[in-house]
């Protein structure tokens, strides 16, 4: 079954001005249920914009987005939250810093649901939250009543991930969610990501800067450049590929678009 269907998606920022950017250029993409898609691409190639358009934070100029067959192109973000859960690159964006972990989890538990003036945050739901936190393996189950702001970036990102799957979403969007973390914590969050996606059989899209992650995770990888999808690699292909093959692909782009060797160097530094 098709989960997300995207056709002819175009987004032009600052139209008509000097810094006009074509962030998405006629993008077409079909994602099936239980696909785990990784997205790589140069800086500014439109990866985040693609995710934002799917989530409804940005309304595209042209094109159509369907989720589970329902057209949502112009629906605002909060109306799509019943299908979509997100983890942002910035660990501060995904949680409310002055609220406790329990309160943040409750907000996620109610994702896409109506909020009544009821006292749902009772002992029963707290013990459920505690069990869920224990699965993060970060000793957070004792800190249910601590405010979010007292957690480290990695811990906050892990909690955000847990919040995203607390109510199993139809689609999980991850935008470089480990980029701001140190390598050890990043590895831990990636391990959790893999675990959650497998446990809940999620459909997920993950933008990453790490070639390793792109190769190891998911069953499909797309490569973006200048607002276009320039490559779409299936899981069979992925098994045969190495990081060098990826880099050679960038080399090909260089040949087509005359990238300077300096830029290639920057790309290599970024992805190795």
Ligand X SMILES: Nc1ncnc2c1ncn2[C@@H]1O[C@H](COP(=O)(O)OP(=O)(O)O)[C@@H](O)[C@H]1O
User: If you write DSSP's letter for every residue of 5-74 in order, what string do you get?
Assistant: EEEEEEEEESTTSTT-EEEEEEEEEEEETT-EEEEEE-TTSSHHHHHHHHHTSS--SEEEEEETTEE-TT
Distance CA 41, CA 186 (A): 19
* CB 16 to ligand X: min, Å: 13
Q: Is 110 in the site for another protein (CB under 8 A)?
A: yes
Q: From residue 134, give the alpha-carbon distance in Å to each of 137, 141, 143.
A: 6, 5, 11
Q: Which residue(s) pair with 174 in the sheet?
A: 87, 206
* Chain CA centroid to CA 146, Å: 26
Q: Is 181 helix (H, G, I), strand (E, B) or coil?
A: coil
Q: Is 169 in the site for ligand X (CB under 6 A)?
A: no
* CB 246 to ligand X: min, Å: 16
Q: Are 48 and 175 in contact (CB under 8 A)?
A: yes
Q: Is 115 in the site for another protein (CB under 8 A)?
A: yes
Q: Is 14 in the site for ligand X (CB under 6 A)?
A: yes
From the list 72, 71, 68, the residue with the least C-alpha distance to 58 is: 72
- Applying CB under 8 A, the span of 11-19, 37-45, 75-83, 261-269 interacting with another protein comes to 75-83
Distance CA 48, CA 89 (A): 10
Task: Pick what 99 binds: Mg ion, another protein, ligand X, none; C-beta below 5 to 8 Å, kind-dependent.
Answer: another protein
- Applying CB under 8 A, the span of 17-25, 27-35, 63-71, 102-110 interacting with another protein comes to 102-110
Q: Is 180 in the site for another protein (CB under 8 A)?
A: no
* CB 13 to ligand X: min, Å: 3
- Applying CB under 6 A, the span of 36-44, 158-166, 233-241, 245-253 interacting with ligand X comes to 36-44
Q: Is 168 in the site for another protein (CB under 8 A)?
A: no
* CB 125 to another protein: min, Å: 11
Q: Which token pair is 56?
A: 């409804």
> Can you give the binding site for ligand X, defined by CB under 6 A?
13-14, 21, 23, 41, 43-49
> Can you give the binding site for another protein, defined by CB under 8 A?
55, 76-79, 81-82, 85-86, 88, 93-99, 103-104, 106-108, 110-113, 115-121, 147
């Amino acid at each position: 079954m098709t989960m997300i269907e995207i056709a002819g998606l175009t987004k032009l920022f600052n139209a008509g001005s000097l810094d006009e950017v074509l962030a998405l250029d006629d993008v077409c993409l079909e994602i099936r249920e239980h696909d785990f898609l990784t997205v790589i691409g140069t800086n500014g190639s439109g990866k985040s914009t693609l995710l934002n358009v799917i989530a409804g934070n940005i309304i595209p100029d042209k094109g159509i987005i369907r989720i589970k067959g329902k057209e949502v192109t112009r629906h605002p973000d909060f109306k799509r939250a019943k299908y979509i859960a997100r983890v942002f690159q910035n660990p501060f964006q995904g949680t409310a810093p002055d609220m406790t972990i329990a309160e943040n989890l409750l907000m996620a538990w109610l994702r896409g649901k109506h909020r009544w003036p009821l006292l749902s945050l009772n002992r029963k739901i707290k013990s459920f939250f505690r069990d869920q936190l224990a699965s993060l393996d970060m000793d957070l189950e004792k800190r249910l009543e601590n405010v979010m702001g007292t957690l480290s970036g990695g811990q906050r990102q892990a909690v955000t991930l847990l919040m995203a799957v607390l109510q199993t979403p139809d689609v999980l969007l991850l935008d470089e969610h480990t980029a701001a973390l140190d390598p050890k914590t990043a590895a831990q969050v990636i391990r959790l990501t893999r675990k959650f996606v497998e446990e809940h059989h999620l459909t997920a899209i993950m933008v990453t800067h790490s070639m390793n992650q792109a190769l190891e995770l998911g069953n499909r990888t797309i490569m973006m450049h200048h607002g276009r999808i320039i490559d779409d690699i299936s899981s069979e292909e992925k098994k045969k590929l190495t990081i060098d093959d990826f880099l050679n692909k960038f080399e090909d782009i260089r040949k087509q678009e005359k990238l300077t060797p300096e830029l290639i160097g920057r790309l290599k530094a970024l992805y190795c």
